[in-house]
C-alpha cells in the first residue's frame, strides 16, 4: 500500500488485465478488489468518461507505452489521474505498475504529488475544471489557469474568499442562492456541495465544493468550476425539439397534453372552464398537389402565425398533425367565448396566402362543463365537432354535442 493516502496502487499483466489493487485504490474507486480484477476496474469510471478511458488504456497496452489519463470516478464524480508504466514483476514477468491519484485528496495534502511542483502545475493547468484552493482563513493556496480564465483574473494574484465571492456575485444572474450556499458552507465546514451557476454573460458553470483535509483535519476548501454552457445549450435544444413541431415551432401533442392537464386542474380549482378548438384545414391536400411541398409548408407556417394572433398569450396553439391544429383556451367564461375565437380564426384564413393559395378550416369546439373531463376526453369531443363542421359544409365551426359521440 502506498504511503500517500491520495494515491492507490494497481498492477496489471502485459495484456492490460488488472491482477491487483491495494486498499487505497479500492477506497478511491469505490470498488472491492474482486470487482476490480480484469477489466472490472472500469466500472468505477463515470459513464461520460468510460469509453475514452478504456480506449486509452487498451491503446497504451497494445503499444506497450506508459499510460496516463484524467477522468472522474465514483458516485460523486471525483476527479482522478491514473498513470502506469511497464515493469518486471518479482516472478520475472512483464506487466504494468501504476497509481490512481485522487486530485481532491491531493489538494487536501497541500497538492504534494510524487512529481515536482512544476509537474503538478502543468497537470492542474491541463484540466478542464477551474480549481481554487483556499485555506481555512480564506487565503488562496493555489489555483490553475482555467480558474483565472473562467473568472477574468489576469494573474494568480492573492485571492481572499471575500474577493472571490464578490467577483462571482457580480457575474451571477441570481446571486441569492449562491450567497446562501456560501453562508451554509461557512457554518458547516465539513459539508460538500454541487451547484449550477447561471452567469450574466450567458455561461453556465457547475460548482463543486469540498472541504480540504490534512491528516484528518479540516484545512480549508477546494472549489472546482466547470463550464457546461455548450452542454446546456445542446440539452435545451433537444428538450425544445422533443416538445415542439419542427416546421412551425408550435407546441406538439406532448406539450399540448401537458398544458391541457395543467389548465384543467387549475380550472377545476377555480370553478372555471377550459375551451378546446380542433382546427382542420379544408382540402389542404389540393394545395400540396397543386403548389408543391414547399409552398404547402409556407401555408402551414403562415396558418400557425395567423391562429396565434387570434388568441391570448396565456392560451396555447399546437400543431398535432399534417394540417391539424389545436387551440387551448385556458379560461373561458362561457361557450360563446370559444366561438368568438373560432370566428376570428376563420376570418384570418380568408386572406390569400403566398402563391395565391387560399385556405379555409373546419373547427370543432368543446368546453369543459362537469369538471370530470380529461385531456383525452376534450380532444375527442373537439375532434367529433370538427368532423361535424366538415359534414355541414366546411369553413365553419360547430360546438360538440353528446349526439356526435353516439353517432360515431
Catalytic residue, from 323, 354, 355, 383: name it: 323
What CA–CA distance (Å, rounded) separates 285 from 279? 15
Q: How far is CA 143 from CA 91, 214, 378, in A?
A: 44, 18, 60
What was the pLDDT predicted at 34?
Answer: 93
What CA–CA distance (Å, rounded) separates 339 from 324? 18
What CA–CA distance (Å, rounded) separates 22 from 9? 6
What was the pLDDT predicted at 116?
Answer: 46
Contact 191, 199 (CB under 8 A): no
Beta bridge partners of 79: 72
41 secondary structure, DSSP code: G
What was the pLDDT predicted at 166?
Answer: 82
Residue 13 host element (H or E)? strand 7-13
Beta bridge partners of 9: 99
What was the pLDDT predicted at 151?
Answer: 83
Per-residue tens of pLDDT for the chain, all 408 residues: 445 667 899 999 988 899 999 999 998 888 999 999 999 999 999 988 999 999 999 999 999 999 999 999 877 788 889 999 988 766 667 899 999 988 877 666 554 444 444 555 666 666 778 888 888 887 777 888 888 888 887 765 656 667 777 888 899 998 888 888 888 888 888 899 988 889 999 999 988 899 988 888 888 888 889 998 888 888 878 888 889 999 999 999 999 999 999 999 998 887 889 999 999 999 999 988 888 999 999 999 999 999 999 999 999 999 999 999 999 999 998 999 999 999 999 999 999 898 788 899 999 999 998 778 899 999 999 999 999 999 999 999 999 998 776 555
CB atoms within 10 A of CB 397: 24
pLDDT tens across 87-134, in order?
876 666 789 999 998 887 766 655 444 444 455 566 666 677 888 888
What structural domains does the chain harbor? 7-108 (3.30.450.20), 127-228 (3.30.450.20), 244-407 (3.30.70.270)
What CA–CA distance (Å, rounded) separates 80 from 73? 7
pLDDT tens across 288-337, in order?
888 899 999 999 999 999 999 999 999 999 999 999 999 999 999 899 99
What CA–CA distance (Å, rounded) separates 263 from 268? 9
Contact 169, 178 (CB under 8 A): yes
What was the pLDDT predicted at 168?
Answer: 81
What was the pLDDT predicted at 152?
Answer: 81
323 is catalytic: yes
The contacts of residue 330 (CB under 8 Å, 6+ apart) are 263, 266, 267, 274, 314, 315, 316
What CA–CA distance (Å, rounded) separates 222 from 108? 8
What CA–CA distance (Å, rounded) separates 408 from 392? 16
CA angle 8, 14, 16 (to 5 degrees): 55
The candidate with the shortest Cα–Cα distance to 168, out of 132, 137, 136, is 132
Q: What is the CA radius of gyration of the chain?
A: 32
Helix segments in 190-250, DSSP class H = 229-243
Q: Which residue has the cell 469540498?
A: 210
Amino acid at each position: 500500500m502506498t504511503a500517500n493516502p491520495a494515491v492507490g496502487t494497481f498492477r496489471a499483466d502485459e495484456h492490460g488485465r488488472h491482477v491487483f489493487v491495494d486498499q487505497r485504490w479500492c477506497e478511491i474507486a469505490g470498488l472491492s478488489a474482486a470487482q476490480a480484477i480484469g477489466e472490472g476496474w472500469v466500472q468505477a469510471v463515470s459513464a461520460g468518461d468510460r469509453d475514452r478511458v478504456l480506449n486509452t488504456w487498451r491503446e497504451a497496452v497494445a503499444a506497450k507505452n506508459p499510460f496516463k489519463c484524467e477522468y472522474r470516478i465514483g458516485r460523486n464524480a471525483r476527479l482522478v489521474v491514473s498513470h502506469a508504466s511497464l515493469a518486471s514483476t518479482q516472478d520475472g514477468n512483464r506487466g504494468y505498475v501504476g497509481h490512481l491519484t485522487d486530485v481532491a485528496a491531493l489538494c487536501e495534502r497541500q497538492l504534494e504529488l510524487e512529481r515536482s511542483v512544476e509537474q503538478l502545475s502543468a497537470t492542474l493547468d491541463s484540466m478542464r475544471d477551474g480549481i481554487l484552493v483556499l485555506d481555512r482563513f480564506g487565503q488562496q493556496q493555489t489555483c490553475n489557469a482555467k480558474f483565472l480564465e473562467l473568472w477574468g483574473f489576469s494573474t494568480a494574484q492573492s485571492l481572499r474568499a471575500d474577493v472571490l465571492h464578490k467577483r462571482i456575485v457580480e457575474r451571477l444572474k441570481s446571486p441569492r442562492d449562491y450567497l446562501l450556499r456560501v453562508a451554509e458552507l461557512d457554518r458547516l465546514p465539513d459539508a460538500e456541495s454541487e451547484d449550477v451557476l447561471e452567469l450574466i454573460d450567458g455561461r453556465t458553470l457547475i460548482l463543486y465544493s469540498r472541504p480540504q483535509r490534512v491528516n484528518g483535519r479540516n484545512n480549508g476548501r477546494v472549489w472546482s468550476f466547470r463550464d457546461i454552457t455548450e452542454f446546456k445549450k445542446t440539452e435545451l435544444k433537444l428538450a425544445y425539439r422533443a416538445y415542439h413541431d419542427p416546421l412551425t415551432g408550435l407546441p406538439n401533442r406532448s406539450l399540448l397534453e401537458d398544458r391541457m392537464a395543467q389548465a384543467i386542474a387549475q380550472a377545476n380549482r377555480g370553478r372555471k372552464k377550459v375551451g378546446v378548438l380542433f382546427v382542420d384545414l379544408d382540402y389542404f391536400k389540393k394545395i400540396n398537389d397543386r403548389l408543391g411541398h414547399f409552398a404547402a409548408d409556407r401555408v402551414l407556417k403562415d396558418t400557425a402565425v395567423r391562429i396565434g394572433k387570434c388568441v391570448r398569450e396565456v392560451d396555447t396553439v399546437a400543431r398535432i398533425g399534417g394540417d391539424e391544429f389545436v387551440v387551448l383556451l385556458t379560461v373561458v367564461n362561457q361557450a360563446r367565448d370559444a366561438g368568438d375565437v373560432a370566428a376570428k380564426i376563420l376570418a384570418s384564413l380568408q386572406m390569400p396566402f403566398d402563391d395565391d393559395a387560399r385556405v379555409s378550416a373546419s373547427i370543432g369546439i368543446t368546453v369543459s362543463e362537469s369538471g370530470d373531463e380529461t385531456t383525452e376526453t376534450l380532444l375527442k369531443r373537439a375532434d367529433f365537432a370538427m368532423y361535424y363542421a366538415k359534414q355541414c359544409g366546411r369553413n365553419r365551426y360547430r360546438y360538440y354535442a353528446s349526439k356526435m359521440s353516439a353517432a360515431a
